[in-house]
Structure formats: structure tokens, C-alpha cells
Amino acid sequence: MNISIKEETLGQRIRAQRIRLGMTQEELAEEMNTTKSMISYYENDHGDMKQSMIAEFAKVLGTTVEYLVCGVIKEGSPDASSAEMLQLFSSMDDRTKEIMLIQMRALVKGGR
């Protein structure tokens, strides 16, 4: 099933990126230390958002402020799968990150 999502506003781009990552509003709210109703508020373009909040959305959603504000995706920007991997990786503790890096390096070397 293909879902078409408008990406004309900041809120629509936040929603689209959240959906691309397979996140619910509840999950995003938890990552952002806020409530589901605030995520809905922002996704529906109610009120102005502080720059620091936009930067936090970009970080949690594995994208750039430029994409969220302007809809511009720079060459070399991560695709949805890469963005999800970055988001998941950033939520790991340091020891788990080390283990995952070792495993990923071994996978890449094994595939050559």
C-alpha cells in the first residue's frame, strides 16, 4: 500500500519523516521528552517552533534542519533506512555502540 504524504510545511515534513522511520507519535514524543499531543500540535503546524526544537526534531528523526524547514534534501543525505539506523544507533549506550560497530565492520569486510 502506497501512502502519499504532503511535504509542503514544517509539520508535514516532520510527520513524513516520522512515518518513513516507522515511528508513532507516541514513540517520537518519548524520544523528544514531550507528549503525543505536542507532536500532533507541531505536525499540524499550530504555532511557531523554536530553532532548538527544530534541531531536536532533526536529530531524533535522523534528518537535517534544512530538510525540515525548507524541504531541501542535500546530495548524500541518508535515505529512510539509513536515517532509521542512525536514529536507532544514537539511542544505544556506548558499549552497545562499540559492539555494533565491530559487527558492522566485520560484515562489510566479509562482503568484499
CA distances from 21 to 50, 62, 97 (A): 23, 9, 20
Q: Can you name the CATH fold of 10-110?
A: 434 Repressor (Amino-terminal Domain) (1.10.260)
Tell me how far apart the alpha carbons of residues 56 and 52 are, in angstroms, rounded to a whole number: 6
Torsion 69-47-49-28 (CA) sign: negative
Please tell me the predicted confidence (pLDDT) of residue 13: 93
Q: Is the pLDDT of residue 31 over 70?
A: yes
Average confidence (pLDDT) over 20-26: 92
Q: pLDDT for 57-109, tens place per residue?
A: 999 998 888 889 888 766 565 666 677 777 787 788 889 988 988 888 888 87
What CA–CA distance (Å, rounded) separates 44 from 21? 19
